[in-house]
A = this chain, B = another copy of it.
């Protein structure tokens, strides 16, 4: 059964939890906005459902509630940011702002981040570029759950990529996707309902294809976008690897199988190769290429033409960002539905801090 909560209610609760963790008012404001943007956009796996996970990481001393997030190296168009073990939810907007300011000054800005934690949905950070007539990009590495093509071992995270591109009359183009066949959140839904997964999503511990959604608990792995070699999984592996290298090797974070797990009950890998988790952000001013009006008028035309592409019977061709925007419109008015276990989880968080959830 679902329970419906207003955005405002969940936002205020989340804000209060971050304050109780010791975050500054400004950080609590930012972190709660980023976290809730996932619930609004329908990416339920990355919203308040994760709040208790952040609390447990903080309790385990792996999240610093009062981080000194700062630039450690920079050129006119690039920077490395040290997140000081802070919430990714505040480290990421800081780093994206650095990228945006560099783009304002020299046309583009590219920022690699080390020593961070889970940053919520990639799309939020990429979309920060839109109101400034810039293209925004965000990516992050994550706990190793994915086996490269031909591997048994879990070496990469679901390593998402988000790209936000402004238009004029049309809503913006916003792509935000894991570089695996299916995001881990989708698998969690099947686990909860005890349904089989389609072939091409996961493999068992020997590397054989499997439809058991619980396979990850017994040594299995998620598969890179493509699913198997014949369907291009080596391309999904390339994408996940590029995200890992841009996010963590460029910055000095932990990469590949050394990426720290999100769940606090798993130990950190021994012999770290860097600090914390890594992210990568990019911003390009569209008028660093051609006049912004001209660019945005052509984006309107691009979007209009693709939306009007002749559909397969009974279907409709979508523009990246359409479903999430529709969801946000609906949930801002009708509220955000949470599953029973998520409500229980938030009630426990509330009890932990002696506050009320509902």
Using CB atoms and an 8 Å cutoff, list the residues of chain A in contact with chain B.
73, 75-78, 80, 106-108, 110, 112, 147-153, 155, 163, 165, 173, 175, 177-182, 198, 200-201, 206-208, 225-227, 230-232, 234-239, 241-242, 244-245, 249-252, 255-257, 273-274, 284-286, 288-290, 294-295, 298-299, 301-302, 305-306, 309-313, 315-318, 320
Contact = CB atoms under 8 A, between A and B. Distances in A.
Contacts of A244: 302
A284 B227 CA distance: 31
Given A225-B226, A290-B251, A234 B177 contact: yes
Given A77-B106, A249-B302, A252-B290, A309 B148 contact: yes
A177 to B, nearest CB: 4
Contact of A306 (B108, B256, B288): B256
A235 B313 contact: no
B241 A312 contact: no
B320 A238 contact: yes
A149 to B, nearest CB: 7
A180 B235 CA distance: 9
Nearest to A286: B250
B318 A200 contact: no
Contacts of A182: 232
A305 B108 CA distance: 33
Contact of A149 (B198, B301, B317): B317
Instruction: Name, among A73, A235, A273, A301, the residue most crowded by chain B CB atoms within 10 Å (CB to CB).
Output: A235
A226 B177 CA distance: 12
A198 B200 CA distance: 14
Contacts of A252: 290, 294, 298
A148 B73 contact: no
- List the 5 shortest-distance A-B pairs measured between CB atoms, nearest first: A75-B107, A207-B312, A175-B238, A78-B107, A150-B315
A57 B74 CA distance: 46
Contacts of A108: 75, 77-78, 108, 110
A225 B238 CA distance: 13
Instruction: Name, among A147, A148, A313, the residue most crowded by chain B CB atoms within 10 Å (CB to CB).
Output: A148
Contact of A318 (B150, B230, B285): B150
Contacts of A285: 75, 78
Contact of A250 (B80, B200, B255, B295): B295
B306 A80 contact: no
A306 B226 contact: no
A311 to B, nearest CB: 6
